[in-house]
Chain A
Amino acid sequence: MATMPASASDLLKSFKLKTKQQELLIRVSILCLVYILAFITRLFSVLRYESMIHEFDPYFNYRTTLYLTENGFYDFWNWFDYESWYPLGRIVGGTLYPGLMVTAVLIYRILRFLRFAVHIREVCVLTAPFFASNTTLVAYFFGKEIWDSGAGLVAAILIAVCPGYISRSVAGSYDNEGVAIFALLFTFYVFVKAVNTGSLAWSLASAFGYFYMVSAWGGYVFIINLIPLYVLVLLITGRYSMRLYVAYNCMYILGMLLAMQIRFVGFQHVQSGEHMAAMGVFFLMQVFYFLDWVKHMLSDTKLFQAFLRITVTSAVAVGGIALGLGMVSGYISPWTGRFYSLLDPTYAKDHIPIIASVSEHQPTAWSSFMFDFHILLFLFPAGLYFCFKRLSDATIFIVMYGLTSMYFAGVMVRLILVATPAVCLISAIAVSTTVKNLTVLLRSKNKVVQTGSTKGSGGSKSSSKALLDQSQPFQKNGAIALLFGAFYLLSRYATHCTWVTSEAYSSPSIVLAARGAHGNRVIFDDYREAYFWLRQNTPQDAKVMSWWDYGYQITAMGNRTVIVDNNTWNNTHIATVGRAMSSYEDEAIEIIRSLDVDYVLVVFGGVTGYSSDDINKFLWMVRIGGGVFPVIKEPDYLVNGEYRVDKGAAPKMLNCLMYKLCYYRFGEMMTEYGKPPGYDRARGVEIGNKDVKLEHLEEAFTTSNWIVRIYRVKPANNRWWLNRYKFG
């Protein structure tokens, strides 16, 4: 009996972990917690609303994913979609990035194989949070690669809850960006790893990472330009090495060949101006290698100088001539409008209204930086400072990634997303280094001299530092205060992120929620009401005309053919719809008939006060329509440069089709107590034209809160029998 306690304590001792094992355990458990946190913080929308797909583009992705699950990959690849862009149609397989759908279907198949009877919708809804969790792991390894494991952990925590990333990866936000940020960060991490090690395996991995990125999102152009830029900077700063040569060449060649397998990208890597920088750097690399070899062979410096001059001039000349010839012959396409608008933020506003009309393409306001990054915005410069202090191949990369992506984030709101991983990583370096330094100070206790000597890099410095340490009496208290300050800031960050996620980024925007008079939650489910009505109660082949924003939703939820949708590939077609909406009814009916439209759908917020409706978007329709058809002139719809819908509105405005469709019989409607009938709550005015008469269209359906209104196109007078045939 007496021996028992002894053996028990032995057993306990054998379970006791060594410091290194303890550290590993803590690290793994922190990572697991971060992994779970990143997932569950994105589930607000599922808890608040339901497991549903959000917004606009995700509905297209969902529809294609459904198609892929039902018909298999080959049918998906060759899918010609008759339901959109009537009468043109759309070659879906060749005009999308299939990475997202293939990923979701793969996850679905695996789960099915493991006998989890899930629906594809649930997989789609949870794809983005799942990949966000994976991104935290990549962020950890990336941080570890460029700094140390502490910075990696902090980076993982920061990116797990960063609003800039959450905005595009909440549950239900089934969009390309959801997986693309993972692919982007993974490619960068593996590439940096390849540069650091010079390993062929890692560069191969980065080529595959790049391939996945190309298959998932058009933002791959950022990678194919940033990496050559980085290589160029390394070359200029004299950091050329064999490791870099191996990493870049392998990644570029293989990545390019793999990327060509994606139909939507095709031969762009050798034909498009946006990809030429990578090719130029590739050839430059060969020249560098060649020169290095020649330098090695030639012992005479003077001779080498002469050779260098000749080679560089001829290489540049050949490159320039090739580029010039390619441009002139049209083999190399010039930069696209989107690319121009990135370099010149005012370009889109003047030349491509369709890009400028999208709210997420607007230049970023300061407040949204603050909203999306919070304290990271201040930590970012601090992190840059630390990076510059400890310059290496890896830190140069993260600095360049941070700076370029910050610039792009300033140009377009949606590109904050691309900047987020860089900002998180660089801020993590700042946080980790600061906290580390402070804790080292705290832990030093009385052995100040010893700590100084162990910490100081040079032996000569240590004594002076120790002296310095002793000379500051409140140093320790100051360190404690600073540490608390840092933790306070970080906890504020966590609170802010959770608040932003719950308040701003978790709304599906299909279902609208508002507070009722008694503080209860009121749900406006009008979109789905209208789409479901279309799906059930219109002929199977009915064509629906609406502004392009709702195209994806109508095809996915309403299952009906649309004229234009969110894949804004044909500007003229969209302009035609814009023209129809901004013409008088009898002119519009000609366009509507020529497009073979059966139903016209408008979104109207006058009853509920929903502000992103078609009346508020109307000026864009006029602009886009007027861009192609000069008969439509923007000033006709304005009064002294002011956009109004009340009595003082422009006569053309009061009688155009969009106005009529939105306000048809609205003049009889009492919307608010104490206001005259026909009071528009979204714009806060009484409407100017209460006596709206429709001649060629008739009201087919209006949802319970009037948000969506659908009109049926009456057949022409001499074709009354068509009505019977179609609807009877």
Chain B
Amino acid sequence: MEAPIRAREALGFILFSLLFSICRSSSLNHLLISNAERRIDLSSHIVKVYLTLKVENAGSTPTSEVFLSFPPTQVDHLATVEALVTKGKRKKTTLVRLDVKPTELPDAPNDAKYFAIYLENPLKSGESTTLEVLYLLTHSQEPFPAEIAQSESQLVYYRDSALILSPYHIKQQTTFIKTPSTKVESFTRVEPSNRAGTEIKYGPYEDHPPYSFSPILIHFENNSPFAVVEELVREVEISHWGNLQVTEQYTLVHAGARHKGVFSRVDFQSRPTLNGASSLRYLLARLPPRVHSVYYRDEIGNISSSHLRTDSRKSELEIEPRYPLFGGWKATFVIGYGLPLQDFLFETSDDRRYLNFTFGCPLLETVVDKLTIKVVLPEGSKDPSAVVPFPVEQHLETKYSYLDVVGRTVVVMEKKNLVPTHNSHFQVYYTFKPIFMLAEPLMLASAFFLFFVACVAYLHIDLSIRK
């Protein structure tokens, strides 16, 4: 019932976009893509798409912008878009990262959204270049059936188009889709298309006009746990006495097919491969090296099931939630650790200090819906400013910790929809006079001094009324 409607819709969409593209302004159509290859990796719940585009300038004027377009449903789930260009001839090739920014085009069909890739050198008429584009999609695999029992495996839908949605004419294109296992229930056929092992191939398709679209639906087994951190608050507290204290509060949820019916411990323990195949049993967090005093706890106390492995280059913390997470189950917990300050805090030439720390979530293969990073600067620091490689929301707060009088400045950064590729470094610059370090010890010392003076005074003064 659903498929014919979809097909009709798609047909309508293609016709519509064809029509549209004919009467489009000529600002875009001087570029064309001579060859496009797309590889979609569905092996985890984060969809990774590698796009190789050979762009040719068929027009007369040089251009330095190449546009990518996405359907509006995909844009909401789009976590990151990166573009690279290969440089150099033959063996001596290097990859250069290009700027990618979301843009608006005045006459986008069906609310298509655009990203512009800015080339380093304008593409002259008749020239061509090869772009490597990587983008990640989150929450794009829909579990179907939406509820499964403990012994069933998790099946999901993935929706996309067999043809690459592009504002340019594509001469030749192929799409490869990699599924996590050979178990594929069904997939939409758009000839020529075939499946071999864990790979589904669509294409090659020749000569498709701009905005061609052909919806496909793949129904396949994906038993990787859908670990989604709904909210993560990371607090990084700088102490100039040599410690960097990190506290991370997680709200973790298994976003896969919801668990239905009984949870049987007997089955779960005795047949772990058949039962709860998609359940989330443990998580791996990659922490910086030289981490110390690691703790893992929640609102009601310490969670004893965690292991820390450290070597000189990295530390790995393996954590198990209190209970295995089935679809729809939640767990909240806190991870905290200390780090040596000299690894992360540096001084600039103009006597400012800056913290260089990783953005993003240290857990592997997880999606973070909302991340808040709070950098707590030491008391008395001034002029904070943050440098982050991607757009974030920022504001300042004040926090009171041990023996604080005026409070500490907190730089708060918020970002939505994060994937592990966001684990790049950010910097927070501030000025701080080392004399402020002595304020708290001096306060304590003077408090004790006053106390002893009071004791001495009390022992030497006779307060009685009668003599």
Contacts and interface: CB of A to CB of B under 8 A. Distances in A.
Contacts of A665: 264, 266
Contacts of B217: none
Interface string B260-277: 011111100010000000
Contacts of B190: none
Interface of A: 49-50, 52, 115-117, 510-511, 523, 525, 528-529, 531-533, 535-537, 557, 665, 668-669, 698-704, 706, 712
A536 B331 contact: yes
A525 B266 contact: no
A532 B266 contact: no
Interface in B233-285: 261-266, 270
Given A523-B304, A665-B266, A701 B323 contact: yes
A50 B301 contact: yes
A699 B264 contact: yes
B404 interface: yes
Contacts of A115: 400, 402-405
Of the listed residues B261, B300, B304, B331, the one surrounded by the most CB atoms of chain A closer than 10 A to its CB is: B300
Given A117-B401, A528-B300, A536 B261 contact: no
A698 B261 contact: yes
Of the listed residues B302, B322, B329, B404, the one surrounded by the most CB atoms of chain A closer than 10 A to its CB is: B322
Listed from nearest, the 10 A-B pairs whose CB atoms lie closest are A702-B265, A536-B330, A529-B322, A50-B302, A557-B300, A699-B262, A52-B301, A523-B304, A698-B262, A117-B401
B322 A532 contact: yes
A116 B261 CA distance: 48
B298 interface: yes
Contacts of B298: 532
Nearest to A698: B262
Contact of B302 (A52, A531, A537): A52
Nearest to A508: B301
B265 A116 contact: no
A699 B300 contact: no
Contacts of B301: 50, 52, 510-511, 528
A116 B323 contact: no
B262 to A, nearest CB: 5
A18 to B, nearest CB: 13
20 contacts: A49-B302, A50-B301, A115-B405, A116-B403, A117-B402, A525-B322, A528-B322, A536-B331, A536-B332, A537-B328, A537-B329, A668-B270, A669-B266, A698-B262, A699-B262, A699-B264, A699-B265, A701-B263, A702-B264, A712-B262
A21 to B, nearest CB: 10
Nearest to B305: A525
Interface string B289-315: 000000001111111110000000000
Contact of A536 (B263, B264, B329, B402): B329
A413 to B, nearest CB: 28
Of the listed residues A116, A698, A701, the one surrounded by the most CB atoms of chain B closer than 10 A to its CB is: A701
B323 A532 contact: yes
A656 to B, nearest CB: 21
Contacts of A701: 263, 323
A525 B297 CA distance: 12
Contacts of A50: 297, 301-302
B300 to A, nearest CB: 5
Contacts of A669: 266
Contacts of B330: 536-537
A525 B402 contact: no
B323 A703 contact: yes
A694 to B, nearest CB: 10
Interface in B178-227: none
A698 B405 CA distance: 56
A39 B112 CA distance: 68
A16 B141 CA distance: 84
Contacts of A523: 304
A531 B331 CA distance: 12
A199 to B, nearest CB: 14
A50 B298 CA distance: 13
Contacts of A535: 299-300
A220 to B, nearest CB: 32
Of the listed residues A528, A536, A557, A669, the one surrounded by the most CB atoms of chain B closer than 10 A to its CB is: A536
Contacts of B263: 699-702
Contacts of A668: 266, 270
A52 B402 CA distance: 22
Nearest to A115: B403
Interface in B312-326: 322-323
B243 to A, nearest CB: 16
Contacts of A529: 322-323
A706 B265 contact: yes
A371 B335 CA distance: 41
A557 B299 CA distance: 8
Contacts of A699: 262-265
Contacts of B332: 536
Contacts of B270: 668
A511 B304 CA distance: 10
A533 B322 contact: yes
Contacts of B405: 115
B270 to A, nearest CB: 8
Given A50-B302, A52-B301, A115-B405, 14 more contacts: A115-B402, A523-B304, A525-B303, A525-B322, A528-B301, A528-B322, A533-B329, A535-B300, A536-B332, A537-B328, A537-B329, A701-B263, A702-B264, A704-B323
Contacts of B264: 665, 699, 702
Contacts of A712: 262
A700 B266 contact: no
Contacts of B300: 528, 531-532, 535, 557
Nearest to B258: A728
A43 to B, nearest CB: 16
B448 to A, nearest CB: 13
Contacts of A49: 302
Contacts of A510: 301
Of the listed residues A117, A532, A557, A665, the one surrounded by the most CB atoms of chain B closer than 10 A to its CB is: A532
A568 to B, nearest CB: 24
B221 to A, nearest CB: 24
A324 B298 CA distance: 58
B400 to A, nearest CB: 7
B307 to A, nearest CB: 14
A533 B266 CA distance: 18
A331 B403 CA distance: 56
A117 B302 contact: no
A28 to B, nearest CB: 10
A703 B400 CA distance: 39
B463 to A, nearest CB: 15
A721 to B, nearest CB: 15
B204 to A, nearest CB: 45
Given A52-B302, A536-B332, A700 B262 contact: yes
Contacts of A533: 322-323, 329
Given A529-B322, A532-B323, A701-B323, A116 B262 contact: no
A669 B270 CA distance: 9
Contacts of A557: 300
Interface string B367-401: 00000000000000000000000000000000011
A613 to B, nearest CB: 16
A30 to B, nearest CB: 17
Nearest to B447: A114
Of the listed residues B262, B299, B305, B404, the one surrounded by the most CB atoms of chain A closer than 10 A to its CB is: B262
Nearest to A524: B304
Contacts of B331: 532, 536
Interface string B329-369: 11110000000000000000000000000000000000000
B267 to A, nearest CB: 9
Contacts of B322: 525, 528-529, 532-533
A245 B299 CA distance: 54
A531 B322 CA distance: 10
Contacts of A525: 303-305, 322
